[in-house]
Structure 1
Amino acid sequence: MLRKAVDLWKEKITGHIDAKDTERATLLSWPDNSSIKVDGETAPYESDKLVIAEYLQDRKVEAYFQIGQYMEGEEAKGTVTGVLANGVEYESGAPYEKVPRSSLQGTIVIPSPLKVGDRLIVSRLTGQRYYVHGKEVSEHGG
């Protein structure tokens, strides 16, 4: 029975990130073939041994916008209405008084905040892997 409990405990903690086990590292290369050098370790960890938080990676959002124009006296005014892929709507607030003139569809890329040389906060995972939480913030905010 004790053996069963220990096995169940091991199963639950597999891949668990222990917040007390955070370490510091330096980003050696990014984004292709990313690697880090963990403080106190002799060899760098390559991309196959890293799990990078999603918010640290380039993010792409599909978007569709309609651009309309209306006249206010002699002055042409415009409005923009759009829908992002995740359902969030954007509205400029001005009402349409004419049919939309054109539409744009594309991808908005939110670039990664990481760059080579950044100091990172990382946690050790099972299998000699590291989870990259984010950038270390110095006392000067950088």
Structure 2
Amino acid sequence: MLREALNLWKDRISGHIDARDTERATLLSWPSKPQIQVDGDPVPYEYDKLIFAEYLQDRKVEAYFEIGQYMEGEEAKGSVTGVLSNGVEYESGAEYKQVPRSSLQGVIVIPSPLQVGDRLIVSRLTGQRYYVHGKDVRPDGG
């Protein structure tokens, strides 16, 4: 019975991030085949041992926008309305009667904030893997 309880406990915590067990690392290569050097470890960790938080990676958002034009006195003004793929609506401009001018559909790329040499906050997971939480923002970077 104790063995079953221990196995159940191990299953529940596999891959668990313990916030008290964070370490610092340096990003050695990015974005293809990322590699980090954890402070105090002699060998860098390769991309197959790393898991990066989603907000640290390049993100692509499909979007559809309509560009409108209206006159304010004799000055032409414009506005943009649109819908992103996740359902978020975007609107700019004033509430005037507008004439649709054109539409634009495409992908917005939000680039990763990471660069080679950045100091990172990481947590060790089971199986000698690391979860990368984000950049270390301490003033001394270390």
The alignment's TM-score, normalised by the length of structure 1, stands at 0.93
Q: Equivalent residue for 2:84? A: 84
Secondary structure, counterpart of 1:24 in structure 2: strand
Aligned mates of 1:58, 1:79 — CA distance in 2: 28
- Is 1:58 equivalent to 2:61 in the alignment? no
Aligned mates of 1:98, 1:26 — CA distance in 2: 52
Structure 1 residues without counterparts, runs of 5 or longer: none
Q: Determine what percentage of the aligned residue pairs are the same residue.
A: 79
Give aligned pairs, total: 141
Deviation at 1:105, TM superposition (A): 0.8
The alignment's TM-score, normalised by the length of structure 2, stands at 0.93
Counterpart code for 1:56: L
Deviation at 1:77, TM superposition (A): 1.4
Q: Which residues in structure 2 correspond to 1:89-108 (within 5 Å)? A: 89-108=89-108
Task: Assess if the C-alpha contact under 8 Å between 1:79 and 1:96 holds in 2.
Answer: no
Aligned mates of 2:7, 2:140 — CA distance in 1: 46
Moved over 4 A (4+): none
Aligned mates of 2:26, 2:101 — CA distance in 1: 50
Counterpart code for 1:123: S
Task: Assess if the C-alpha contact under 8 Å between 2:29 and 2:35 holds in 1.
Answer: yes
1:86-130 CA-partner distances (Å, limit 9, x unpaired): 111111142352431100111111111110001111000111110
Deviation at 1:71, TM superposition (A): 1.7
More deviation, 120-129/90-99: 90-99
1:30-59 CA-partner distances (Å, limit 9, x unpaired): 000100001111111010000011000111
Task: Assess if the C-alpha contact under 8 Å between 1:79 and 1:95 holds in 2.
Answer: no
Counterpart code for 1:36: I
Q: Equivalent residue for 2:69? A: 69
Aligned mates of 1:61, 1:81 — CA distance in 2: 16
